[in-house]
């Protein structure tokens, strides 16, 4: 259980037990843990403090004073409700989309292609291939492929799927399309790693007991591969909910598709409105932690690692 | 066996279509790196090698690329060192705060990049630190470390402690045992962790964007250029990195499968 872990408290200090081994462990752990303390934990705390700040009255842009403005949160929820709902809505649809695309693919590579190691290796390499070309170039390529003057859009307009003055870039559909595409490998890999170890004799046993293929899938394959689905879903949903490249107006999105990340970026880097950006980030982090906590409760932190 | 297939050809055909779908933007980027384009790279204007031969003529591309390599190398060395130490401690030693440490390693991976980026930026801001290459490296080491721990941990766990015991029985000092036995055996895990870490650092945009200030990296260059249209030279850099990475992965995989076969025979 992830959060029971907090109960132990004390950090690495308690690792300083008198045995020789613990001293070595402390020496190995401390540098990395101090680093994470300084540049991971402290920034999160700094974010929470900033999210509660108030304008300092000087009227200078970007200057704020310490405060305890809980109402900042209420303000961002009401003001940015569309963007918040886009983030989680798009992330949900794209994660489900990635799962439907990835599961059969991972099943084929992990189970069906077992007897052909060469094909298995090749397909696996191709699944991770998108990682090796810049995320931004990939996304921009989709923008070009589906740009307003592109043959693809002309074709869709001609067959009537799109109206004569409808385009794809700037629509929620296009943003979700891009998000799904970009995060498919994050879904496929954990699914593959669990399907690769799936014992096909269990499927044979089920079918020997007169289960239909559908029943076998539902009662045997699916429960056995649930851990892969869980980690794949987390690995996909989390980065999608925080993404702002796909939804950006320079890439696949438009003014009506902005997500939490877009607001955080513009508030933080352009408008110097740090409390708003921080409150939104803390909110996003909170929802993700709830989700992770829910999953971790079911499978344990060791499994997550 | 056949009774489980969803029809004989459905699954293979589906998988091939999915793979082709994954390849489309890569192919597009590659093809358009040969486009005889002017300022932007929107329309196909004819084939040329010019952009490959004169990549650096495009203002800023090569500087950004150089910065990304520099940041990637330094971050990788630091993250791999710190992460490997934690991984060894997690597998080999018993200590009370284990679950706390596991959680602290896991959390950065579960935190959306925009939160990591904004958090660090707000900390640098309150410290009054000037943003630049150094702050980018600090950020990259932080988010790469957890991935190193996870990768190396698997390797440490699969290591046979008897080998180290044998070293000690033969009067090897702890340092000798570590450098002559443990470290070489961990090397494949450490190498793949380093490669992963470099790839993560090199392609990171979101966290970098919050902590870079005026410093340019390759992804940031692409993001900034996107407003006007990305020049073909960026496609050249992307494609070249892609080809190099694929070559490395294929080499590692081939060597790995040869090794696996040898081990399987035992």
* Contact at CB, A25 and B89, closer than 8 angstroms: yes
Chain-chain contact of A134 with B238 (C-beta, under 8 angstroms): yes
Which domain range does residue A234 map to? 73-304
The two structure tokens encoding residue B241: 């990195």
> Angle CA(B99)–CA(B150)–CA(A114) in degrees, nearest 5?
125
ipTM associated with this complex:
0.84
| CB-count exposure of residue A46 (10 Å: 0-12, 13-18, 19+) | buried
Q: What is the pLDDT of residue A18?
A: 39
The string of pLDDT tens digits covering residues B206-234 is: 999 999 888 899 999 989 888 888 888 88
Residue B210 touches chain A, beta carbons under 8 Å: yes
* Residue in A35, A46, A125 nearest the CB of B141: A35
Higher pLDDT, B123 or B49: B123
In 3D space, the residue among B187, B126, B206, B22 whose CA is nearest the CA of residue A66 turns out to be B126
Task: Using a pLDDT cut of 70, give the percent of chain A over it.
Answer: 89
**What is the least distance, in Å, from the CA of B97 to any CA of chain A?**
6
Contact flag A136-B223 (C-beta cutoff 8 Å): yes
Question: Token pair of A89, please?
Answer: 């809505």
**Radius of gyration (Cα) for chain A, nearest Å?**
24
Q: In Å, how far from its chain's centre is CA A277?
A: 19
Domain membership flag for residue A56: no
B192 touches A at CB < 8 Å: no
pLDDT tens digits, one per residue of B102-161? 888 888 988 999 999 999 988 888 888 888 899 999 999 999 999 999 889 888 888 888
> A10, A128, A137: best mutation site toward chain B, by most B Cβ within 10 Å?
A137
pLDDT digits (tens, 9 = 90+) for B89-102: 888 887 778 888 88
d(CA B36, CA B49): 8
Q: Give the Cα separation of A91 and A241 in Å (integer).
A: 5
> A165 in a domain, yes or no?
yes
Asked if residue B219 lies in contact with residue B205, where contact means CB atoms within 8 angstroms, the answer is yes
pLDDT of residue A255 exceeding 50, the answer is yes
The percentage of chain B sitting over the pLDDT mark of 90, rounded to a whole number, equals 28
Interface of B with A in 85-124 (CB under 8 A): 85-86, 88-89, 92-97, 99-108, 110-116, 118-123
| pLDDT score of B42 more than 90 | no
* Whether A126 and B139 lie within 8 Å, measured CB to CB: no
Of the residues A1, A24, A141, A207, the best mutation for testing chain B's interface (the one with the most B CB atoms within 10 Å of its CB) is A141
CA distance A160 to chain B (A): 23
Q: Token match 């204007």: residue?
A: B45
Flag whether A142 is in a domain. yes
Collect all residues of chain A within an 8 Å Cβ-Cβ radius of residue B208: none
Q: Which residues contact A204 (CB under 8 A, 6 or more apart)?
A: B1
Of A32, A243, A277, the CB nearest to B85: A32
Is B134 an 8 Å CB contact of chain A?
Answer: no
Q: Residue A133: list chain B partners with CB under 8 A.
A: 25-26, 29, 238-239, 241-242
The model's pLDDT over A67-113, given as tens digits with 9 standing for 90+, comes to 777 777 888 888 888 889 989 999 999 999 999 999 999 999 988 88
What long-range pairs does A260-268 form, CB within 8 A, spacing at least 24?
Answer: A260/A80, A260/A83, A260/A84, A260/A86, A260/A87, A260/A284, A260/B114, A261/A87, A261/B112, A261/B114, A261/B206, A262/A83, A263/A80, A263/A83, A264/B114, A264/B118, A265/B114, A265/B209, A265/B210, A268/B118, A268/B121, A268/B122, A268/B210
pLDDT of residue A5: 29
Residue A262 included in any domain: yes
List chain B residues with CB under 8 Å of A105: 14-15, 18-19
Half-sphere exposure for B234 (CA within 13 Å, toward CB)? 27
Say whether pLDDT at A224 is over 60: yes
**What are the pLDDT digits (tens) for B2-29?**
455 456 788 889 999 999 999 999 999 8
Q: SS3 sequence, chain A?
A: CCHHHHHHCCHHHHHCCCCHHHHHHHHHHHHHHHHHHHHHHHHHHHHHHHHCCEECCCCCCCCEECCCCCHHHHHHHHHCHHHHHHHHHHHHHHHHHHHHHHHHHHHHHHCHHHHCHHHHHHHHHHHHHHHHCCHHHHHHHHHHHCCCCCHHHHHHHHCCCCCCCCCCCCCHHHHHHHHHHHHHHHHHHHHHHHHCCCCHHHHHHHHHCCCCHHHHHHHHHHHHHHHHHHHHHHHHHHHHHHCCCCCCCCCCCCHHHCCHHHHHHHHHHHCCCHHHHHHHHHHHHHHHHHHHHHHHHHHCHHHHC
Cβ of B246 within 8 Å of Cβ of A5? The answer is no
* Confidence band, pLDDT 50/70/90 cuts, at residue A257: confident
**What tokens were used for A135?**
């995320």
Contact B112 A242 (CB under 8 A): yes
- pLDDT in the model for residue B71: 93
Residues of B in contact with A243 (CB under 8 A): 113-114, 206
Mean pLDDT across the stretch A262-269? Answer: 88
Mean pLDDT (whole number) for A261-271: 87
Q: Are strands A54-55 and A64-65 parallel, antiparallel or unpaired?
A: antiparallel
B248 to chain A: which residues are within 8 Å by CB? Answer: none
Of the ranges A43-47, A51-55, A216-220, B155-159, the best mean pLDDT one: A43-47
**Structure tokens, B31:** 């093809």
Cβ B114–A265 below 8 Å, yes or no? yes
Q: Are A189 and A123 in contact, with CB atoms under 8 Å apart?
A: no
Mean pLDDT, to the nearest integer, of B65-90?
92
Measure B155 CA to nearest chain A CA, in Å. 13
Residues 6+ positions from B116 with CB-CB distance below 8 Å: A40, A43, B108, B139, B142, B143, B207
Residue in the structure block whose two tokens are 């810049």: A134
Between A and B, how many residue pairs show a Cβ–Cβ distance under 8 A?
297
Q: How confident is the model at residue A53 (pLDDT cuts 50, 70, 90)?
A: confident
When CB atoms are compared, the residue of B114, B205, B242 closest to A133 is B242
Count of CB atoms situated within 10 Å of the CB of B235: 29
pLDDT band at B83 (very low <50, low <70, confident <90, very high): very high
All residues of chain A having their beta carbon less than 8 Å from the beta carbon of residue B197 are: none
Best interface-test mutation with B: which of A22, A40, A212 has the largest number of B CBs within 10 A? Answer: A40
Which of A14, A241, A281 comes nearest B119 by C-beta?
A281
Contact at 8 Å (CB) between A239 and B112? yes
pLDDT at B66 over 70: yes
* Total residue count of chain A as it appears in this document: 305
The reported pLDDT for the residue numbered A113 is 84
Tally the domains of chain A.
1
Neighbours of A196 (CB within 10 A): 16
Q: Determine whether the interchain pair A244/B246 forms a contact, defined as Cβ–Cβ distance below 8 Å.
A: no
Shortest CB distance from A123 goes to which of B19, B116, B149?
Answer: B19
CB-nearest to A112 from B11, B95, B97 is: B11
Contact (CB<8Å) A126/B11: no
Who wins on pLDDT, A1 or B192? B192
* pLDDT score of A300: 58
- Residue A241 maps to which CATH number? 1.10.3720.10
pLDDT classification of A7: cutoffs 50, 70, 90: very low
Confidence at residue B56, expressed as pLDDT on a 0 to 100 scale: 78
Query: In CATH terms, is domain B62-230 a member of 3.20.20.120?
Result: no
The mean pLDDT of chain B is 85
Cα–Cα distance for residue pair A71/A53, rounded to 1 Å: 10
Q: Band the pLDDT of A19: cuts 50, 70, 90.
A: very low
- Mean pLDDT, residues B59-68: 87
pTM above 0.90, yes or no: no
pLDDT at B141: 95
Q: Which residue has the higher pLDDT, B93 or A44?
A: A44
Are B230 and B222 in contact, with CB atoms under 8 Å apart? yes
**Cβ burial B204-218 (10 Å sphere, 16+ → b, else e):** bbbbbbbbbeebbbb
Q: Best residue in B26, B78, B79, B100 to probe A by mutation, most A CBs within 10 Å?
A: B100
* DSSP-derived secondary structure for chain B: -GGGSSSTTHHHHHHHHHHHHHHHHHHHHHHGGGB--SSS--S---B-SHHHHTGGGSTTHHHHHHHHHHHHHHHHHHHHHHHHHHHHHHHH---TTHHHHHHHHHHHHHS-HHHHHHHHHHHHHHHTPPPSHHHHHHHHHHHHHHHHHHHHHHHHHTS-HHHHHHHHHTT--HHHHIIIIIHHHHHHHHHHHHHHHHHHHHH--HHHHHH-TT---HHHHHHHHHTT---HHHHHHHHHHHHHHHHHHHHHHHHHHHHHHHHHH-
pLDDT band of A10, cuts 50, 70, 90: very low
pLDDT category at B39 given cuts 50, 70, 90 is confident
The confidence score (pLDDT) of residue A9 equals 31
- Note whether B82 contacts A35, CB cutoff 8 Å: yes
Spatial distance between the Cα atoms of A107 and A227, rounded to a whole number of angstroms: 14
The pLDDT, as a whole number, for residue A21 is 64
Determine the pLDDT at residue B228.
82
Confidence (pLDDT) at A139? 92
Question: B46 CB near a chain A CB, below 8 Å?
Answer: no
Q: For A159-182, how does the pLDDT look when each residue is reduced to its tens digit (9 = 90+)? A: 877 777 778 888 889 999 999 999
The answer to whether B266 contacts chain A (CB < 8 Å) is no
């Amino acid at each position: 259980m992830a959060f029971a872990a907090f109960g132990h408290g004390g950090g690495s200090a308690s690792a300083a037990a008198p045995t020789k081994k613990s001293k070595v462990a402390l020496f190995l752990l401390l540098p990395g843990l101090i680093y994470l303390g300084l540049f991971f934990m402290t920034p999160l705390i700094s974010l929470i403090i900033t999210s509660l700040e108030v304008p300092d009255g000087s009227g200078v842009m970007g200057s704020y004073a310490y405060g305890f403005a809980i109402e900042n949160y209420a303000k961002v929820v009401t003001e940015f409700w569309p963007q918040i709902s886009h983030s989680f809505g798009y992330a949900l649809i794209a994660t489900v989309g990635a799962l439907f695309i990835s599961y059969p693919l991972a099943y084929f590579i992990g189970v069906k292609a077992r007897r052909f190691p060469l094909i298995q290796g090749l397909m696996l390499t191709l699944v991770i291939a998108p990682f090796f070309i810049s995320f931004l170039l990939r996304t921009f390529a989709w923008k070009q492929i589906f740009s307003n003057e592109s043959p693809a859009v002309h074709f869709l307009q001609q067959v009537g799927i799109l109206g004569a003055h409808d385009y794809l870039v700037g629509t929620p559909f296009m943003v979700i399309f891009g998000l799904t595409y970009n995060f498919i490998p994050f879904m496929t890999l954990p699914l593959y790693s669990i399907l690769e170890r799936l014992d096909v004799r269990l499927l044979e046993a089920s079918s020997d007991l007169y289960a239909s293929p559908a029943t076998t899938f539902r009662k045997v394959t699916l429960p056995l591969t649930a851990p892969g689905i869980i980690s794949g879903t987390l690995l996909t949903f989390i980065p999608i909910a925080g993404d702002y490249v796909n939804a950006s107006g320079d890439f696949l999105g438009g003014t009506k598709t902005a997500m939490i990340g877009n607001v955080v970026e513009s508030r933080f880097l352009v408008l110097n409105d740090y409390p708003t950006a921080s409150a939104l980030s803390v909110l996003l982090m909170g929802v993700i932690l709830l989700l992770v906590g829910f999953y971790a409760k079911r499978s344990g932190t060791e499994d997550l690692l | 066996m056949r009774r489980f297939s969803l029809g004989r050809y459905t699954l293979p055909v589906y998988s091939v279509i999915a793979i082709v779908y994954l390849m489309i933007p890569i192919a597009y980027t590659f093809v358009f790196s040969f486009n005889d384009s002017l300022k932007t790279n929107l329309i196909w204007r004819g084939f040329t090698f010019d952009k490959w031969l004169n990549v650096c003529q495009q203002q800023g591309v090569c500087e950004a690329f150089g910065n990304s390599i520099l940041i990637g190398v330094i971050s990788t060395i630091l993250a791999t060192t710190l992460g490997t130490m934690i991984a060894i401690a997690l597998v080999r030693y018993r200590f009370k705060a284990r679950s706390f440490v596991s959680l602290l390693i896991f959390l950065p991976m579960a935190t959306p990049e925009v939160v990591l980026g904004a958090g660090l930026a707000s900390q640098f801001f309150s410290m009054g630190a000037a943003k630049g290459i150094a702050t980018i490296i600090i950020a990259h080491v932080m988010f790469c470390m957890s991935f190193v721990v996870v990768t190396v941990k698997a390797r440490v766990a699969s290591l046979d402690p008897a080998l180290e015991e044998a070293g000690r029985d033969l009067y090897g000092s702890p340092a000798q045992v570590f450098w002559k036995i443990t470290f070489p055996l961990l090397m494949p895990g450490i190498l793949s962790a380093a490669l992963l870490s470099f790839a993560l650092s090199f392609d990171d945009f979101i966290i970098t964007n919050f902590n870079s200030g005026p410093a340019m990296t390759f992804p940031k260059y692409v993001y900034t250029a996107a407003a006007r249209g990305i020049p073909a030279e960026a496609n050249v850099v992307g494609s070249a990195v892609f080809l190099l990475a694929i070559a490395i992965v294929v080499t590692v995989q081939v060597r790995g499968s040869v090794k696996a076969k040898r081990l399987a025979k035992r």
